[in-house]
Chains A and B, each alone.
Chain A
Amino acid sequence: MSATAPASANDAPRGYWCLRPAGLTLLVHRRGAWAGLLLTAMILAIATGSLSSGTIPLAETVAALAGIGDPVTLFMLHELRVPRLVAGLLSGAALGVGGCLLQTLARNRLATPGIIGIDDGATAFAVASIVAIPTSLAPPMLALMGAATAAALAFGLGGGGSRGYRFIVVGIAIGALFGAITNFMLARTDIDAANLAYPWTVGSLNARSATTVATLAACLAVCLPIAKMLGRDLQLLRFSDAIAIGLGTRLRRTRIAILIVTVFVTATAVAVAGPVGLVSLAAPEIARHLTGHRGVPVINSALAGAMLMIAADWVGRTAFAPVEIPVGVITAVVGGPYLLWILLREPRPGGG
């Protein structure tokens, strides 16, 4: 993305802007930037709608955000809705990035953390910490361990990610294994603890705690720049192994770096929101569509993921009020048919 040759503002390649703040020269993909702005605008719109839904009118919401208004409204917004919105935005962004990276790694749009079993691994370990094994470790740490275990297994047994389909099917097997373990733990425990953990296993923004959200924010702050820096290698990964090596990628190192970043963002997101797997399938797809299938849209995937997550949460909260539908159910009901459609439509056999 950076141009080293001295260039005037006019010789940016077609479709790019050339920016040079303070001695740096940056090329910005125009359509990508517009897509980012569009997604940001949509996020703002959905966030406003989500914050002011129900009994609070828009004007009061804005006032309350600035700290003016009656105590009930202030409490609702500052203690309930804003933290929930932040949790949704961050976890959606993390899932979007994770999906985008893993899809590129396996050269297959169906390879997302949810399908590979990373979500299941994180969930199994985190549920274990809630219902089965009392430990002093916080659920996010355990989710991270579970996600790392699942990813390492899928990566190792799946032939190092070089053959997409094998990676995916091995991932499905590992996901099934962890799913069985989660089910077993839920069945062993008493009904109260199971109910406590149940919405959590389908993905809900109810289960978040302030510290897990803070962990997620920190993780995103570290991982997003790394993912962006991996951008060039990511683009080369889309070619065959031989070409990517010929163009100077250290394949194995890049793959492992991508996998580690994916594990971190996915695990911390699962610790906040549970396995809302289909966000990581759809977000990169939307981002790629908006940016015109050029390169690997890491940032736009994050924005699209955040947008999907808060939109699904908003629908889940309001559609069947007063019963709240977990956000994972909404994404599965909407995203599942979409996944089927991708599968049945794609003309290339194997897709990877």
Chain B
Amino acid sequence: MSKGGARSSLRRTTAICAVMVALLMLASMLFGAGSITPLDSWHALLGRGSEESIFIVHELRWPRTILAIVVGIALGAAGTIMQAATRNPLAEPGLLGVSAGSSFAVVLAIYYGADAVGVHFGIAILGALAGCFLVLLTTQMRGAGTDPVRLVLAGAAFSSILMAVTTLILLHDQRTADEIRFWVIGALGGRPSSYLQWAFPGLIAGLAMVGATAAALAALSLGEKVAMGLGHRPVFTRVLAMTGVAVLVGTATATAGPIAFAGLIVPYFARRLVGPDVRRALPVALLIGPLILLLADILSRLAVRPYELPIGVVTACIGAPVLIAVVRSHRLPRL
């Protein structure tokens, strides 16, 4: 493909994704688990209709839609950058234990009675940093770093330790247990709008960090020596990229709880659409992330009406087949 052709295909893909995100946003406003019909919602959206429907659409569905977009962007970018930084197609904040570190930190904070939203965000980011540090450590190990599966298993082991300690806390403390039971699955509904205030700065800071590393990561995919020859600093790049990932994952986790597999699905589709270059995959991932999350959120509302599925269950149901597809492909692709 010529360079001009590649660029126009990137542009076309971006345009299609943007239109789909807009459509899904509209769908997210119109469909829900409640009793009001899509037509009622449409009227409410235009400012007419019953008070109840206006309340539902403007006060419940609108913040939820925005949250889905914020979390989608954060997780999509985090997954894409993480796969590029570890050169591992299975790298995903959930699978590698970064989300687990982040959510464990929040569980600890709730247990010790910290209920200020800002504190949750800060602590979630710290927890994610600890998880990222472990991932970086593992990739530096001889033998382990080049083996995608071992990284995933290390993440699973780390998650299971944290899970056990979480259980320990929950058994001690009934109040925390009831608060956390819903949170640990991941959900977008019922978040107060004060969360957005904190989520936006985190999102922007994280995106700035990972955006700054995209070019260097693309060079790193050619090998460390080539990247150094091109004037990049591999260690600095990896640390900055993973710090950005930690900020993004911490923000997403504090906002919506750990949402499994989103970081795996998004880069998988992004690479399918525009190829493995992270500089091209990242912008597309920023659109596919919200797309997947909005879709999962709408499904979670409609699947078992009048109840709602937690969104984590939906993303796990989409993500597990994707994970299987990645592993079943002829040989494990190396990034």
Q: Which residues of A contact B (CB under 8 A)?
A: 110, 115, 157-159, 165-166, 168-170, 172-174, 176-177, 179-181, 183-184, 186-188, 191, 194-195, 198-199, 202, 277-278, 323, 325-326, 328-329, 332-333, 336-337, 339-340, 343-344, 346-351
Contact = CB atoms under 8 A, between A and B. Distances in A.
A47 B261 CA distance: 43
Contact of B181 (A194, A277, A332, A350): A194
B184 A343 contact: no
B23 interface: no
B312 A336 contact: no
B165 interface: yes
A332 B104 CA distance: 15
Interface string B175-219: 001100110110000000000000000000000000000000000
Given A169-B323, A325-B168, A325-B171, A176 B328 contact: no
Given A169-B149, A187-B185, A332-B163, 10 more contacts: A157-B328, A173-B319, A173-B320, A180-B313, A180-B317, A187-B181, A325-B168, A325-B171, A328-B164, A339-B157
Contacts of A191: 178, 181
Contact of B307 (A177, A188, A195): A188
Interface of B: 90, 95, 138, 141-144, 146-147, 149-150, 152-154, 156-158, 160-161, 163-165, 167-168, 170-172, 177-178, 181-182, 184-185, 260-261, 307, 309-310, 312-313, 316-317, 319-321, 323-324, 327-328, 332
A187 B156 CA distance: 23
A172 B150 CA distance: 12
Nearest to B146: A349
A349 B260 contact: no
A170 B260 contact: no
8 closest residue pairs by CB, A with B: A332-B164, A336-B161, A180-B316, A339-B157, A173-B323, A173-B320, A177-B320, A165-B149
Chain A contact residues: over half helix, strand or loop, or mixed? helix
Contacts of B178: 191
13 contacts: A157-B324, A172-B153, A183-B313, A187-B182, A198-B170, A278-B160, A328-B164, A329-B164, A329-B168, A336-B160, A340-B158, A344-B138, A348-B143
Contacts of B324: 157, 169-170, 173
A6 B260 CA distance: 62
A172 B170 CA distance: 25
B266 to A, nearest CB: 16
B164 A336 contact: yes
Contacts of B142: 347
Contacts of B310: 183-184, 187
Contacts of B327: 158, 165-166, 169-170, 173
A191 B176 CA distance: 13
Given A172-B323, A191-B178, A198-B170, A184 B161 contact: no
Most chain A CB within a 10 A radius of its CB, from B157, B310, B317, B321: B157
A184 B164 contact: no
Nearest to B170: A198
Nearest to B309: A184
Contacts of B261: 176
A343 B328 contact: no
Most chain A CB within a 10 A radius of its CB, from B143, B149, B161: B149
A260 B142 CA distance: 37
A214 to B, nearest CB: 28
Contacts of B184: 183
